[in-house]
Amino acid sequence: MLKTIKHTCSSYWCQIRSVVATEIRNIVSDEGVVLVLVMASIIYATIYSLAYGPEVLHDVPIGVVDLSKTLASRQLTETFDAGPNMVVAYEPEDMEAAKKLFFNRDIYGVVYIPEDYEEKLLGGSQAVVSLYVDASYFLMYRQVFQEAVAGINTTGAMVEFQRLIARGAETPQAKAITQPVIYQSHNLFNPYLGYGAFVMPAILVVILQQTMLIGVGMIGGTWREFGLYRKLIPPGETRMSTLPIVMGKSIVYLVVYAFLCLYLFALHYRLFHYPINGQTETVIALLIPYLLACTMLSIAVSTLFRYREQSLMFLLWSSIPILMVSGVSLPEQAIPGWLYDFGQLFPSSSGIRAFIRIRSMGASLDEVMPEIRQLWILTGVYGLLAGLGIRSVLHAVGKRESSESE
């Protein structure tokens, strides 16, 4: 019995070393795999981070159609130019000229000030100012709408304050009437309301999963296309075992992605000034099951491909849908229940939720334990599927060799 166990362990260890050596040679000698498995994570992370580097839109151009042409209307126009986020780029003579600028994308919003603006304002009537904002580009819409409304509200409060002072009201009383409630705004977890700080943590987590899926899929197709499985049989043995192959492949991928995580979440995160909250130990406790789940899923999926190109054709389109069903680009409550539940089958869904809560919100280990537990479950499930997939491939290889020998 002891001799059998010793022989099995020796055979497994020999196979693991053979798998590791073969996998490393395949990665190093294959430029396509190096590009996808190693370089793609760095390239994608850098390109996306540079694109979202400004964080907040500045100097969004608008047009102001001022038919009043009075001191009051000029003061209102000046409020739109006061902040850094919006600029009055054009002052067209009428709405027809403003429409032309709008549809040519020279401006993203139009403020229409009617002829009777000052007359109504000073006469105590309600003046109406119309806003036309491009809602096809949501970030532009939000920026223009918020800034324009803030400028109009400020102007309205100042006019009402001056009216009360003119009627003999004391300054504190006039302030209390024009501003009965003063609010204090606290932007939690994203103080500058930056789009990059919002979306990049999720994108980085998805990049790890998707590059691993595609890269390992390419390697799996290469193994089957060139019959590398049969080369793993140890001297004196007649067949290969499933467990050593899964373990050997996993070791290589985990080492590669451990270094990628070190770069992305230690160096890259600081280079682009993304929020760093929570404990590093908590992040590591999350990344271990996340990388394991991604690795097992990748190995399981790679057994489906007979040729390396199939992984690119099958998996390249999936990145955006996976990001969407994770609940980041659209809140969980707005996604159909069955679609959101389907998204939980991917490690990225749990990984994104937990990572954002840790790094952006400063969550503790106990607070993200449900996501970590789910990742360990996915690791077990996909590990079993990876073993079954490898076993099926080995069976097919053995069957083909038997038929060839006959």
pLDDT of residue 166: 66
Pairing of strands 109-113, 86-90: unpaired
Which is nearest to 132 in space by CA: 65, 83, 82, 68? 65
Which part of the chain has CATH 3.40.1710?
60-178
pLDDT of residue 256: 93
- Across the range 211-215, mean pLDDT stands at 89
Of all helices (H) and strands (E), which one includes residue 109?
Answer: strand 109-113
pLDDT of residue 230: 67
Q: Are 290 and 260 in contact (CB under 8 A)?
A: no
pLDDT of residue 198: 81
Q: What is the chain's mean pLDDT, rounded?
A: 82
Instruction: Give the pLDDT band (50/70/90) at residue 366.
Output: very high
Residue 286 has pLDDT above 90, yes or no: yes
Residue given tokens 């980041």 in the structure block? 328
CB count in 10 Å sphere of residue 280 = 12
- CA distances 194 to 44, 139, 236, 347, Å, are 19, 11, 62, 26
Instruction: Give the pLDDT band (50/70/90) at residue 117.
Output: confident
- CA distances 15 to 207, 248, 255, 303, Å, are 31, 8, 18, 18
Which tens digit of pLDDT belongs to each residue from 60-115? 899 999 998 888 888 888 888 877 778 899 999 989 999 999 999 899 899 999 88
SS3 65: strand
Integer Cα distance of 398 and 240 in angstroms: 9
Instruction: Give the pLDDT band (50/70/90) at residue 281.
Output: very high
pLDDT of residue 278: 87
Q: Are 178 and 161 in contact (CB under 8 A)?
A: yes
Q: Name which of 12-26, 103-117, 220-234, 245-259 the model is least confident about.
A: 220-234
- CATH for 60-178, among 1.10.10, 3.40.1710, 3.20.20, 2.60.40? 3.40.1710
Residue 367 has pLDDT above 80, yes or no: yes
The pTM (predicted TM-score) of the whole model is 0.81
pLDDT of residue 101: 92
- Across the range 259-270, mean pLDDT stands at 91
Which tens digit of pLDDT belongs to each residue from 319-354? 778 878 887 777 777 788 888 888 889 999 999 999
